[in-house]
Amino acid sequence: MKMNRVWKKQGIDLRPGAQIKGKWHHNNYTIQRKLGAGAIGTVYLCDYGGRPAALKISDKGTSMTVEVNVLKSLEKVQGSRLGPSLLDVDDWVSPTGDMYSFYVMEYLQGETMVGFIRKHGKDWIGVFMLQLLEDLEKLHQTGWIFGDLKTENLLVVSSPPTVRWVDVGGTTKLGRAIKEYTEFYDRGYWGLGSRRAEPSYDLFAFVMVFLTIYYPNRFEKEHEAAEKLLYKKIDRVNDLTPYRSVLKKALTSGYASSAEMKQDLIHVLNAAKKRETYHKQKPKHSWKLLFMESGGIGILALMYYLFSLLF
Amino acid sequence: MKNGSLKQILLLTDGCSNKGEDPSATAALAYQQGITVNVIGILEDDQTESPDGLQEVEDIALSGGGVSQIVYSESLSQTVQMVTKQAMNQTLQGFVNKELRQILGSDQGIEDMDPEKRGEIMEVVEDLGETSDLEVLVLVDTSASMHNKLPTVKEALIDLSISLNSRIGRNKFCIYSFPGKRKDIQKVFDWSPKLDTISTVFPKLTSGGITPTGPAIREAMYQFGKKSLLRSFRHEDESGMEETGY
């Protein structure tokens, strides 16, 4: 079969300065440097009309098409940006005549979650947990499961610090078999559930993401029961103490939805806040301020309106 | 598509054949009869590059219409699943491509379409992959050198069954080992929807250096035939039998 020939072809290696011209849409991209390589394709930073963009190119046309389909369906989720936005999809015929598929995405610049938390402290853990759960809830609502949720697929972009998903290749329709996974984050590997795409699958991986921050070299299955081992790993991390009960419940598929887990987490976070001995004095004049602000805006708007009537 | 199920032979080996017919030829024979042959070559942990014998791995898969991959035993689990799924998609894509050519003319395959149309077609292929039934015959080389890899093989197969049983479509697995005691292959585990029940370890390993890969593939191919013959006899029980797939 024809695919076999493609399968055997050597991986692609593009030099900085290489020009990629689309076969169908005729856009031109200049390769700047390699950003990373995975099982399916290589991602390059490229220049498109003076703007930076991320270009993923591969000889596995089929898998690329599937990824593009996922990115497109994520864009349909209104009011939020779950994956990187898709800019172009095309084919490229190399000078040697081989055909490659590529797609171009928004280039997200940021740092890894592990690096960020190490630099800025554990206060951000709760924030990122809530952000992630909120995004997961939105994704699950549209009938998709993230699948390959892991630290490598997450990036913290700045101002304000927000977790973004960089690689959505594992995203699978609800109720199907998970398309792509990494053993450490996979509940099937730990013997703690199936690989059917359901919210609890992502929530298991979610817990493992936060464990990875404290076990950067990960750890392996041991002879003792996986559940016990993972519980122990959670207990050993001081920073995760407030979230223990929530994380443990998620490990055993105890949450049917991200919203449910988020609720528990908010509860825990608030309880932790109360327990803290010092309180920062909150300014109490916020009502007054709000009044003045909205009043001011109203007057300004009125002035603009009247002004526009004059012309 | 609803009527047929995808048939695959998954061959796990660590070396080249040395007895009987050419395995590539028997793989081609199987492919002609609608059975895809996938091959995974397992390397020793201290092997740095693949020995010449493993060229055969690629050749068998090529003539068997399947996928081949050479791995170290620790990454076996993921490879087994990747190869199986990739081969399914490849077969389904082949069907769809053939249909397309019939409708649109001989030179209009999936590759010749613009990315938007290709995306729509791939959605169909994915749907088929998720819902179609699959029969996998696992053929394990149990010659002496495979000895210490067999526990990993077993784990990888259980893992494969977890993954495939998360699909909507039904599955059937069976495991054969070769060389058998008197025959070319020997049954380890009979057709069943799940593999997590394998408690039986692989049979006593046959010593001596015989690896009759070719004859083993031929025998394996007949196992699909036997089953469908049996099924046609017991047509009445069929619905009851298939429900166990869930």
| Residue-by-residue DSSP string for B64-113 | TEEEEEEEEGGGHHHHHHHHHHHHHHHHHHHHHHHHHHHHH-TT--GGGS
Q: Has residue A6 got a pLDDT over 50? A: no
Tell whether A101 and A159 lie within a shared domain: no
Minimal C-alpha gap between A143 and chain B (Å): 15
Q: What residues of chain B, 109 to 138, have a C-beta less than 8 Å from chain A?
A: 110-111, 114-116, 118-119, 122-123, 125-126, 130
Any domain includes B78: yes
> What gap in Å lies between CA B102 and CA B95, rounded to an integer?
11
Residue A25 has a CB neighbour count (10 Å cut-off) of 13
Q: A79 is in which domain, residue-wise?
A: 8-106
**CB contact at 8 A, A130 and A270:** no
> End of a domain among A46, A72, A106?
A106
Any domain includes A289: no
Chain A residues whose beta carbon lies within 8 Å of the beta carbon of residue B167: 176-177
Tell whether A252 and A157 lie within a shared domain: yes
Q: Which residue of B59, B166, B171 to mutate against A (max A Cβ within 10 Å)?
A: B166
Minimal C-alpha gap between A43 and chain B (Å): 19
> In the prediction, which pLDDT does A8 show?
41
Would you place residue A23 in the very low, low, confident or very high pLDDT band (cuts 50, 70, 90)? very high
Whether this model's ipTM surpasses 0.90 comes out as no
The tens digit of pLDDT for each residue in B33-66 reads: 999 999 999 887 666 655 666 788 889 999 999 9
Any domain includes A309: no
Tell whether A118 and A253 lie within a shared domain: yes
> End of a domain among A65, A81, A106?
A106
* B126 with A68: Cβ contact below 8 A: no
Chain B residues whose beta carbon lies within 8 Å of the beta carbon of residue A8: 58
CATH classification at residue A140? 1.10.510.10
Any domain includes B221: yes
Any domain includes A32: yes
Any domain includes A28: yes
> In the prediction, which pLDDT does A286 show?
63
CA angle A208, A202, B75 (to 5 degrees): 60
Higher pLDDT, B13 or A78: B13
The tens digit of pLDDT for each residue in A96-121 reads: 888 899 999 999 989 999 999 999 98
Highest mean pLDDT among A16-30, A168-182, A281-295, B81-95: A16-30
**CB contact at 8 A, A224 and A213:** no
* B122 with A183: Cβ contact below 8 A: no
pLDDT tens by residue, chain B, 246 residues? 444 789 999 999 887 777 888 999 999 999 999 999 999 998 876 666 556 667 888 899 999 999 998 888 878 888 898 899 889 988 888 888 888 888 877 677 777 788 888 888 888 888 898 999 999 999 998 887 787 888 888 888 988 988 898 889 999 999 998 887 778 888 888 888 887 666 555 655 555 567 889 999 999 999 987 755 555 444 444 444 444 444
Q: Which DSSP category does B34 fall into?
A: T
> In the prediction, which pLDDT does A66 show?
86
Would you place residue A79 in the very low, low, confident or very high pLDDT band (cuts 50, 70, 90)? low
Closest in B62, B116, B130 to A177, CB measured: B130
**Residue A221 contacts B where some CB pair is shorter than 8 Å:** no
> What gap in Å lies between CA B91 and CA B182, rounded to an integer?
34
> In the prediction, which pLDDT does A294 show?
82
> What gap in Å lies between CA B10 and CA A310, rounded to an integer?
81
Minimal C-alpha gap between B181 and chain A (Å): 34
Any domain includes A245: yes
**CB contact at 8 A, B31 and B37:** yes
Chain B residues whose beta carbon lies within 8 Å of the beta carbon of residue A190: none
> In the prediction, which pLDDT does B50 show?
58
The tens digit of pLDDT for each residue in A219-233 reads: 988 888 999 999 999
The tens digit of pLDDT for each residue in A162-194 reads: 999 988 888 999 999 998 889 999 999 999 999
Q: B41 is in which domain, residue-wise?
A: 6-243
Tell whether A102 and A119 lie within a shared domain: no
Any domain includes B1: no
Catalytic residue list of A: 148
* A61 with B111: Cβ contact below 8 A: yes
Chain B residues whose beta carbon lies within 8 Å of the beta carbon of residue A171: none
CATH classification at residue B80? 3.40.50.410
Higher pLDDT, B234 or A7: B234
> In the prediction, which pLDDT does A247 show?
97
Q: State how beta strands A42-48 and A28-37 pair.
A: antiparallel
Q: State the total domains in chain B.
A: 1
* A188 with B90: Cβ contact below 8 A: no
Percent over 70 (pLDDT), chain A? 91
> What gap in Å lies between CA A283 and CA A47, rounded to an integer?
47
Any domain includes A301: no
CATH classification at residue A74? 3.30.200.20
Any domain includes A294: no
Q: State the total domains in chain A.
A: 2
Q: Has residue A9 got a pLDDT over 50? A: no
Tell whether A29 and A152 lie within a shared domain: no
Tell whether A137 and A269 lie within a shared domain: yes
> End of a domain among A106, A128, A159?
A106
Tell whether A172 and A221 lie within a shared domain: yes
**CB contact at 8 A, B125 and A179:** no
Q: What share of chain B is helix, strand, coil (3-state, %, to 5)?
A: 50, 20, 30
Tell whether A132 and A253 lie within a shared domain: yes
Buried b (16+ CB within 10 A) or exposed e, A100-131: bbbbbbebbebeebbebbeeeeeebbbebbeb
> In the prediction, which pLDDT does B1 show?
43
Tell whether A124 and A263 lie within a shared domain: yes
The tens digit of pLDDT for each residue in A153-163 reads: 999 998 789 99
> In the prediction, which pLDDT does A61 show?
84
Q: Has residue A277 got a pLDDT over 60? A: no
**CB contact at 8 A, B66 and B87:** yes
Tell whether A96 and A117 lie within a shared domain: no
Lowest mean pLDDT among A234-243, A291-300, B195-204: B195-204
